Amino acid sequence: MLSVAEAHSIVLNHLLVLPAEPVSLSQAASRVLREPLTADRDLPPFNRVSMDGIAIQFAVFETGQRQFRVAGTQFAGQPAQTLTEQTACLEVMTGAMLPTGTDTVIRYEDLQITDGLAEIQIDAVQVGQNVHHRATDRKQYEELVPIGTRLGPPEMAVAASVGKATVLVSKRPKIALISTGDELVDVSETPEPYQIRRSNTYLLQTVLQAAGAETTLLHLPDDADTMETALKTVLQEYDALVLSGGVSAGKADFVPKVMERLGVRQRFHQVAQRPGKPLWFGASDEGKVVFGLPGNPVSTFLCAYRYLLPWLKASLGLPVLQPSVARLARSVSFTPKLTYFLPVRLSVSPDGIGLATPLPGSGSADYANLLQCDGFMELPPERAEFSEGEAFPVYTFR
Ligand SMILES: Nc1nc2c(c(=O)[nH]1)N[C@H]1C(S)=C(S)[C@@H](COP(=O)(O)OP(=O)(O)OC[C@H]3O[C@@H](n4cnc5c(N)ncnc54)[C@H](O)[C@@H]3O)O[C@H]1N2
Ligand code: MOO
Ligand SMILES: [Mg+2]
């Protein structure tokens, strides 16, 4: 049976190829850049006054002069004025252009202005102080944000400041999230005693939307022909399908068979792991990708976090999620020769070390257990005993 690392690597060999599309900047938050952002002007574009006060010529201050006649006021949003009389000054406001003929700004806090005469009350003045000089942050044409960056708050601010009203980004992958199972009813329905409400697709939607996918929720019964007919259309309309349920050994587990009929070639079925052993993965020759996640909710979640999310991030050109490392807060035994994804609660010990406390629970159908869970610790298959204090990788989702 395939190892976790082998399955992960096969999944990452089937990334989506996403076209680029222009979107207006107001719709671009969290999208992934397909063009670099470059400075259209120097940053800052002019010598910018950075404190409210007066602008003077430093050479005059150096001669010992402390009183300067106020010759006018330079506000932000105006072209630069010129100080014609060298021994005078101009009042200047933060964000204004530094007036021509001046080079230094003294704050109001360090002055007294009486009857149009400003008296400087400090001696420690540096030439050029309180001026944010043109091009000191970045030069015109310099690349500010490279291709492949996700547009977070600073990137959005930079895009706006360089005039990108429209920005080229990766198209969001269209992913269909499909629950399967005759026992499943809609969230709005009252289940019969033999039914439950479907929950996996809501879990999947939360994982995938946050990472930038456009998702649609669908449901199919446990009937191979109905599934085949419906999925034929779905495959044409979406970049990828994520099914939950119908992939293990039951008489109503039709997903692998239906996918084969639809020309989606199986790349693997079953991974040496718990939970999630029945995981199915396939791709069509046209590049459509299908994840068949095991239906038990904890398996669905683990597989979504360990395989689907890295695949989506890599398809978007984003860094694939890296596990953190924590120490086991108590010893654990697990004898099957499978990678064991242990649900844990994370905390920090008094000496600053990350601690993972195993959560008791009744297995992979116990989705209520996830409410207390911060992540899954990945314990390797070749061992059965894991001692308190040993460190292992943890995939966290909080
Ligand atoms: N003989 C074997 N039986 C099973 C095996 C096995 O290897 N041999 N594997 C077990 C494991 S591990 C898992 S996990 C499940 C996987 O089952 P399927 O992927 O075939 O899923 P279903 O049979 O359709 O459902 C399993 C379970 O999950 C519930 N479910 C399904 N979808 C949803 C949903 N959208 N929301 C909430 N709950 C859902 C479903 O009601 C079932 O209880 O198979 C084991 N069996
Ligand atoms: O993946 Mo199954 O969830 O081990 O029960
Ligand atoms: Mg089944």
Nearest CA to ligand 2 atom 5: 364
| Domain termination residue (choose one: 104, 132, 160) | 132
104-115 pLDDT tens trace: 999 999 999 999
* 364 CB near ligand 2 (under 6 Å): yes
Q: Which atom of ligand 2 is nearest to the CA of 296?
A: 3
Last residue of a domain, one of 109, 132, 155: 132
From the CA of 223, how far away is ligand 2's center (Å)? 22
Residue nearest to atom 5 of ligand 1 (CA): 248
| Cα–Cα dist 313/318, whole Å | 5
Question: Are 191 and 201 contained in the same domain?
Answer: yes
Paired tokens of 346: 């994370």
Please report the ipTM that was assigned to this predicted complex.
0.98
**What residues contact residue 58 under an 8 Å CB cut-off, 6+ apart?**
103, 104, 125, 127, 128
Question: Which ligand is nearest to the Cα of residue 221, counting in written order?
Answer: 1
Q: Is the CB of 180 inside a 6 Å radius of any atom of ligand 2?
A: no
339 lines ligand 2 (CB under 6 A): no
Q: How far is the CA of 296 from the centre of ligand 3 (A)?
A: 9
What is the reported pLDDT for 23? 98
- Write down which residue in 287, 316, 345 finishes a domain: 316
pLDDT higher than 80, residue 152: yes
Q: Answer yes or no: is pLDDT of 321 > 90.
A: no
State if residue 306 touches ligand 2 by the CB under 6 angstroms criterion: no
Give me 299's structure tokens: 């398996």
In a shared domain, residues 109 and 223: no
The preferred substitution site among 277, 338, 366, 369 for testing ligand 2, maximizing ligand atoms within 8 Å of CB, is 277
Examine the domain organization and report whether 212 and 250 are in the same domain.
yes
CATH number for position 119: 2.170.190.11
Residue 315 to residue 36: CA distance in whole angstroms? 18
Pair 98, 230 in one domain: no
90 pLDDT band, cuts 50/70/90, is: very high
Q: What is the pLDDT of residues 169-214, one digit of tens each?
A: 999 999 999 999 999 999 999 999 999 999 999 999 999 999 999 9
Give distance in angstroms: CA of 156 to centre of ligand 1: 43
Do 215 and 301 fall into the same domain? yes
Per the structure, the complete domain to which residue 142 belongs is given by 20-43+136-170
Q: Are residues 180 and 309 in the same domain?
A: yes
Strands (E), 75-165: 89-92, 104-107, 111-114, 117-120, 131-132, 143-145
Whether residues 25 and 162 share a domain: the answer is yes
CA distances for 299 relative to 88, 302, 343, angstroms: 76, 5, 11
Say yes or no: CB of residue 300 within 6 Å of ligand 1: no
Are residues 164 and 28 part of one domain?
yes
pLDDT exceeds 80 at position 365: no
Average pLDDT, the chain: 96
If asked whether residues 344 and 357 sit together in one domain, one would say yes
Q: 95 or 361: whose pLDDT is higher?
A: 95
Q: Of how many residues is the chain composed?
A: 398
Based on the fold, state whether residues 158 and 118 are members of the same structural domain: no
Amino acid 26: pLDDT: 97
Residue 365 and residue 276 share a domain = no
Number of domains the chain contains? 4
The model's confidence at residue 80, banded by pLDDT at 50, 70 and 90, is very high
**Do 304 and 345 reside in the same domain of the chain?**
no
Model-level pTM? 0.89
* CB of 295 sitting under 6 A from ligand 2: no
- Tell me the β-bridge partners of 68: 118
Q: What pLDDT does residue 240 have?
A: 98
d(CA 108, CA 127): 17
Ligand minimally distant from the alpha carbon of residue 217:
1
Report pLDDT for 70. Answer: 98
CATH number at residue 376: 2.40.340.10
**What was the pLDDT predicted at 351?**
86
Tell which phi-psi region holds residue 107, choosing left (phi > 0), alpha (psi between -120 and 50) or beta.
Answer: beta
Phi and psi (nearest 5°) for 256? -60, -40
For the chain, the first-to-last Cα distance in angstroms comes to: 31
